[in-house]
Amino acid sequence: MAIVGEVEHPYVPRDLKLPGFVPAFLPPSTIVGAYLLASLLAVSIVWIGSGRIHKISKLDRILMCWWIFTGLTHMVLEGYFVFTPDFYKKTTPVYLAEVWKEYSKGDSRYAARDSGVVSIEGVTVVLEGPFCLLTLFAIATKKSYRYVIQLAISLGQLYGTIVYFLTSYLDGDNFAASWFYYYAYYVLANAFWVLIPTAISVHCWKKICEAIKDQDLKKTKTS
């Protein structure tokens, strides 16, 4: 454990300066469990609600669930981090502060307010979060731009996640308290924002290409 004044923190590097650090109040199981339950509730509401939409495919319903999950994660969870630089000083059990105290065990750059991480998260919160909810609306109402906006946001998520990993690597990739936290929080938790946006990008790319091809064929027939 690193010592900052008279208070110990569990993060790496051990000499990380966190003046006023207050240890977490909630156990990891409660923090992670609450996040999973809240996410499940949001996804369930969208899944049930989307079933009432006329002629909507199962794939589109699944995509709507993803966009509500990732949108709320960006705006609520990551939004708190961006706009609460002193989260590690909270002297009462504020849930969102507890989340970031715990996650920092996998990547201490969050507790240290690394400028690169704050910048990436700031763009994600301000731009990607609201557009995720707009995408949810676009799919539900079958807007013509629904594939374009999904492709754009997915590429933005991929870019942000890749930069997130690259900056850690270039800075030594030594920000996790243990291998468990490294793989559970840093690798596994973020892998969803690589795999799912990649799959959505491919899907939307194909849909856009098909639409353009059909439009070209119509023009050819009428000319």
pTM above 0.85, yes or no: yes
Q: N- to C-terminal Cα distance for the chain?
A: 75
Q: Confirm if 194 and 202 have CB atoms less than 8 A apart.
A: no
Q: What average pLDDT does this structure show over 101-113?
A: 98
Confidence of residue 2 (pLDDT cuts 50, 70, 90): very low
* pLDDT score at 4: 40
Compute how many other C-beta atoms are within 10 angstroms of the C-beta atom of residue 167.
Answer: 17
| Average pLDDT for 58-75 | 98
**Hey, what amino acid is at 22?**
V
Q: What is the number of helices (H) and of strands (E) in the chain?
A: 9, 2
Mean pLDDT of the chain: 95
Q: Is the pLDDT of residue 214 over 90?
A: no
Q: Is the pLDDT of residue 216 over 90?
A: no
85-88 LR contacts (CB < 8 Å, sep 24+): 85/113, 86/20, 88/9, 88/18, 88/20, 88/21, 88/22
Cβ-count burial of 93 within 10 angstroms (0-12 exposed, 13-18 middle, 19+ buried)? exposed
Task: Give the tens place of pLDDT for each residue, 16-63.
Answer: 999 999 999 999 999 999 999 999 999 999 999 999 999 999 999 999
